[in-house]
A and B are shown apart, each in its own frame.
Chain A
Amino acid sequence: MGKPIPLSGNYAVAYAVKAADVDVIAAYPITPQTAVVEKLSEFVANGELDAEFIHVESEHSALSAVVGASAAGARVFTATSAQGLLLMYEIMHIASTMRLPIVMTIATRAISAPINIWCDHSDFMASSDAGWIMLMGVNAQEAHDLTIAAYRIAEDPRALLPVAVGYDGFWVSHTVEPVHVVEREGALRYAPKRVARYVLDPERPVTMGSLGSPDWYFEFRVQLQDAVEKSREVISEALREFKQHFGREYREVDGLYTDDADVVLVLMGSAVGSAVPFAEEARRAGLKVGVVNVRLFRPFPEEEVLKHLEGAKVVAVVDRAINPGSSSVGPLYSDVAVTAFKRGLDVPILSYVTGLGGRAVMKSHFEAMVKHAYGFVGKRMRDVKTHYSFVGVRE
């Protein structure tokens, strides 16, 4: 491993996309993602990256353009945030059911209204039912590495699925930190360009994107579900081999101090970085706190998450988004709770919603959560009257 260079999360992603030697990029600027495609347009303009950069008038068009390019067999990239992702939402389903290996990064940001350009996970979570593989990096290095891994996963013939790589808007996208950059040669050795069996090719014509009448539609949706489910193997293989190629190890789920923990915090994104030192401090004060970082969100890594919850007395799921009126309130909570229920894990599982719209997630917030959660030690889920609370909000 060479020397790290200082890069923001956004630039780290741009360098990854350059290393992956993409053929077509289409994107529309939106804070906090803009710097990714600004940097990429610079790479294309000065000849460092030989790619088509398609200027489009909206995110809807950006994803549509890469859908077309991917269908023609190109390695493609797009990036967005918040409202832009919601505008892409319609096309996200088309990309996944058409089984196009598109890679997109999401600098996570709150959804309007009120207008807010800052970080939370509302956009990422709102798009999590679109049949994409979804990963979340906690820092610039992970955003870089997971973007490269995403190409290998997406284009694997066993997967053939679009992959979204999230990383926190501003907290990661605009934070400068040391990043070990993967070079093109290494990236292509790890993730060689693989063209799908069926592409738009005048020599071997096929039809894509046709009508799926009631006689056909259901089959293709089940096919998508099956593909996402089976992609687990492809993902874990890609992460394993990432370590062999580049020395950095990523797992679908990280667990820290979960073996003997009373309270296990389950969370995603950059706040993991604050939860870990908090847990270390809490342990010195006699509180057995564990931390689980959910790096892979779709397909949800049930086994890997469960492994870290089995000894817990209370599970505290931290969400940076609200699914208003749902039975879970927190979207990550929903997956954790269903996973636990399926395995008969009967401990209180609590939902803590925090850090919306750019509000920082601080040590004091974790302190409040853990203090509250300790009140449920020894209880069962049925003893919990209200399972959710908001941390760091004014009453």
Chain B
Amino acid sequence: MLTEVRWHGRGGMGVVTAAELLAYSSILKGYYALAFPEFGAERRGAPVTAYNRVSERPISDRSPVLEPDCVVILDPTMVKRETLRGLKRGGFVVANTARKPGELSELLGHEYRYATVDATRIALDTLKLPIVNTAMSAALVSATKIVDLEHLIEALRARFSARVAELNERAVRRAYESTEVA
């Protein structure tokens, strides 16, 4: 089955890396996967979009994802209806927010499923930096079980230096545990 994910955030949050981590994890699991950014001029603070396609079968289509199964929002200010454009009915919204999933359901519509995590808090506590990408990857994995937590951690170790991987592993484990799904 093909799963399509769209990531939203801002330059500096690690949106592109988040998508790459999901692809890494999926490939480690034995899936085919693509990760690609909505290619813009890279500037800190500018809106950034990235995409994933994950499937058990080879994937040929690499055009932007228009109807995702899952939208991941790294920036709390982007938690709004327009960010969800094209999201399939019953699809997942995974958001970085201190709010509960039920609150988002009221706010954004009952046709979607919601998972929330206070990733900014977790990132500041563990990394001492507001880089929420790894925590949000963990939230996505926690909500959808698209890969196992251990695949994600293995991907962290492959992608980052030992020290950075270790700090992010803490963020990932905490986010995975504290993600609330409704």
Contacts and interface: CB of A to CB of B under 8 A. Distances in A.
Interface of A: 4-6, 32, 117-118, 138-139, 170-172, 174-178, 270-274, 276-277, 358, 360-363
Given A170-B39, A174-B39, A362 B27 contact: no
A174 B42 CA distance: 13
A176 B60 contact: no
Interface string B146-161: 0000000000000000
Interface in B23-68: 23-24, 27, 32-37, 39, 41, 59-64, 66
A273 B62 contact: yes
* Most interface-central of B36, B59, B64 (chain A CB within 10 A): B36
A273 B34 CA distance: 12
Interface in B91-133: none
A6 B63 contact: no
B37 A274 contact: no
B20 interface: yes
Contacts of B39: 32, 117-118, 170, 174, 358
A117 B41 contact: yes
Nearest to B52: A176
Contacts of B63: 271, 274, 360-363
Nearest to B20: A176
Contact of B35 (A175, A274, A361, A363): A175
A139 B36 CA distance: 12
B134 to A, nearest CB: 16
Contact of A176 (B36, B59, B61): B36
29 contacts: A5-B27, A6-B24, A117-B39, A117-B41, A138-B60, A139-B60, A170-B36, A170-B37, A171-B36, A174-B37, A174-B39, A175-B35, A176-B19, A176-B23, A176-B35, A177-B32, A177-B33, A177-B34, A177-B59, A178-B27, A178-B32, A271-B63, A273-B59, A273-B60, A274-B60, A276-B60, A276-B61, A277-B60, A362-B63
Interface of B: 19-20, 23-24, 27, 32-37, 39, 41, 59-64, 66
B27 A272 contact: no
Nearest to B35: A176
* Most interface-central of B19, B23, B32 (chain A CB within 10 A): B23
A270 B66 CA distance: 17
Contacts of B37: 170, 174
* Most interface-central of A32, A178, A361 (chain B CB within 10 A): A178
Contacts, number: 69
Contacts of B60: 138-139, 272-274, 276-277
Given A117-B41, A358-B39, A176 B34 contact: yes
Contacts of B23: 6, 176-177
B64 to A, nearest CB: 5
* Most interface-central of B19, B24, B62 (chain A CB within 10 A): B62
A361 B61 CA distance: 10
Contacts of A276: 60-61
Nearest to B39: A170
A274 B37 CA distance: 17
A6 to B, nearest CB: 5
Nearest to B32: A178
B61 A273 contact: yes
B14 to A, nearest CB: 14
Given A176-B20, A178-B27, A274 B36 contact: no
Given A175-B34, A176-B19, 10 more contacts: A6-B20, A6-B33, A138-B60, A174-B39, A176-B36, A177-B34, A177-B35, A270-B62, A273-B60, A360-B64
A361 B66 CA distance: 12
Nearest to B155: A6
A176 to B, nearest CB: 4
Nearest to A141: B58
Contacts of A171: 36, 62
Nearest to B66: A362
A263 B63 CA distance: 22
Nearest to B61: A274
Contacts of B36: 170-171, 174-176
Contacts of A177: 23, 27, 32-35, 59
Contacts of B19: 176
Closest 4 CB pairs of A and B: A273-B60, A175-B36, A176-B35, A170-B39
B41 to A, nearest CB: 7
Nearest to A362: B63
* Most interface-central of A4, A175, A272, A360 (chain B CB within 10 A): A175
A172 to B, nearest CB: 8
